């Protein structure tokens, strides 16, 4: 039944995307080119609606049972809030403050009603950190953070859809290993729906997913990662962070840039990962495929991480962080004045 649902969701997404494209033009959900954007013509940007409709079809067919009594209903309800937020933004360009409030509302629905939260994390050598009163704030921060991280990388044709698909495949694969049937079902549905849309979204794109797609996918990935890796017997929160290494690192360095330059956190710029790779001379398609490869490597790294010993995990994280830092410094993702590794190496050289 799982395979049949995958095929049906995939086909539904393929069939619904052209319909949504026409609807986007009718309601004015279009993206106009400017100095910050790569595309050169007006594009429809309501593609997330096609993904969501295909997702709903999969839900109706499989009717997955969540591990918590009210979790599934809460996840779907939160998804509706996020989708409505994205659709309204695609049409009317909502302010960053309104979008943030609605994202927090969706996260609270999942955490308070659904019982999906981060109440503790496991540490090496049988250690554990209990979050207590900070459980809900940390859970909301995770959901809102990942939701916006996927939105931030949605800067090239097919980029967010492809990176999300790779993350979903990784999360689903690990859920299969751990026997988490709910995450497997939801992951299969979302992956099929996103891949069907990607047929029209890959370069040269015929439609953008818009905030309706990027926010919805980010929200669902954040929630599934919580369900899939909660309380596992390693440094538990590191696993989804590794899987989502590309959007998380891009968002992290974007925050550093904006704080350093004293710009608002919501201020756009042209220094994201995809912009930097384009500046190196890669084509649009090559840049997207290169970032796909990075996402797949992070997914593979997450699998390896879960199979190592505690000391191996710690060493693995250190090597991964150094590799990310070196890569970031070489492609210019952050300004040379605040490249920490270069500054440390310079200090050691001067001693």
With respect to residue 317, please indicate whether it lies within any of the assigned structural domains. no
Identify whether the C-beta of residue 65 lies closer than 8 Å to the C-beta of residue 182: yes
State the Cα–Cα distance between residues 220 and 236, nearest whole angstrom: 19
- Give the Å distances, CA to CA, from 183 to 1, 62, 66, 82: 15, 12, 8, 19
Q: How many domains is the chain partitioned into structurally?
A: 1
Numbered residues of the known binding site for Mg(2+): 151, 211
Task: Tell me what the pLDDT averaged over the chain comes to.
Answer: 86
The residue among 116, 305, 101, 92 whose CA lies nearest residue 211 is 92
With respect to residue 83, please indicate whether it lies within any of the assigned structural domains. yes
With respect to residue 263, please indicate whether it lies within any of the assigned structural domains. yes
With respect to residue 336, please indicate whether it lies within any of the assigned structural domains. no
Task: Tell me which residues of the chain have a pLDDT lower than 70.
Answer: 34-40, 122-127, 229-237, 309-310, 329-351
- Biggest distance spanned by C-alpha atoms of the chain: 66
The residue among 168, 150, 146, 170 whose CA lies nearest residue 160 is 150
With respect to residue 220, please indicate whether it lies within any of the assigned structural domains. yes
> What does pTM read for this prediction?
0.89
With respect to residue 350, please indicate whether it lies within any of the assigned structural domains. no
Numbered residues of the known binding site: 151, 211
With respect to residue 311, please indicate whether it lies within any of the assigned structural domains. no
CA 310 remoteness from chain centre: 27
With respect to residue 235, please indicate whether it lies within any of the assigned structural domains. yes
Whole-number pLDDT of residue 105: 98
pLDDT tens-place string over residues 309-326: 667 777 877 888 787 777
Identify whether the C-beta of residue 184 lies closer than 8 Å to the C-beta of residue 177: no
Q: Tell me the residue range of the domain where 121 lies.
A: 2-300
3 state SS of 128: strand
Whole-number pLDDT of residue 341: 43
């Amino acid at each position: 039944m799982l395979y049949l649902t995958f095929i049906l969701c995939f086909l539904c997404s393929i069939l619904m995307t052209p319909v949504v494209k026409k609807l986007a033009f009718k309601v004015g959900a279009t993206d106009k080119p400017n100095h910050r954007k790569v595309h050169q013509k007006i594009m429809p940007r309501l593609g997330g609606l096609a993904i969501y409709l295909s997702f709903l079809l999969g839900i109706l067919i499989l009717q997955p049972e969540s591990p918590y009594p009210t979790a599934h209903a809460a996840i779907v309800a939160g998804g509706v809030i996020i989708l409505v937020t994205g659709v309204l933004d695609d049409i009317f360009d909502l302010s960053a403050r309104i979008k943030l409030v609605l994202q927090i509302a969706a996260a609270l629905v999942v955490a308070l009603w659904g019982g999906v939260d981060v109440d503790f994390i496991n540490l090496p050598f049988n250690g554990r950190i209990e979050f207590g009163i900070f459980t809900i704030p940390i859970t909301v921060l995770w959901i809102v953070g990942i939701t916006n991280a996927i939105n931030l990388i949605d800067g090239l044709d097919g980029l967010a859809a492809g990176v999300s698909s790779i993350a979903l495949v990784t999360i689903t694969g690990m859920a299969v290993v751990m026997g988490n049937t709910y995450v497997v079902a939801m992951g299969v549905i979302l992956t099929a729906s996103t891949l069907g849309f990607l047929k029209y979204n890959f370069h040269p794109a015929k439609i953008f997913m818009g905030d309706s797609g990027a926010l919805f996918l980010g929200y669902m990935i954040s929630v599934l990662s919580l369900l899939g890796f909660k309380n596992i017997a390693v440094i538990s929160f590191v696993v989804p962070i590794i899987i989502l290494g590309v959007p998380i690192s891009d968002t992290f360095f974007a925050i550093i840039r904006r704080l350093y330059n004293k710009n608002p956190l919501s201020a756009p710029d042209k220094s994201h990962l995809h912009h930097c790779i384009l500046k190196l001379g890669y084509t649009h398609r090559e840049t997207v495929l290169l970032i796909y490869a990075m996402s797949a490597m992070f997914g593979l790294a997450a699998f390896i991480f879960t199979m190592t010993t505690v000391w191996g995990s710690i060493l693995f994280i250190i090597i991964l962080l150094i590799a990310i830092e070196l890569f970031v410094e070489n492609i210019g993702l952050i300004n040379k004045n605040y490249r920490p590794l270069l500054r440390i190496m310079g200090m050691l050289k001067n001693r």
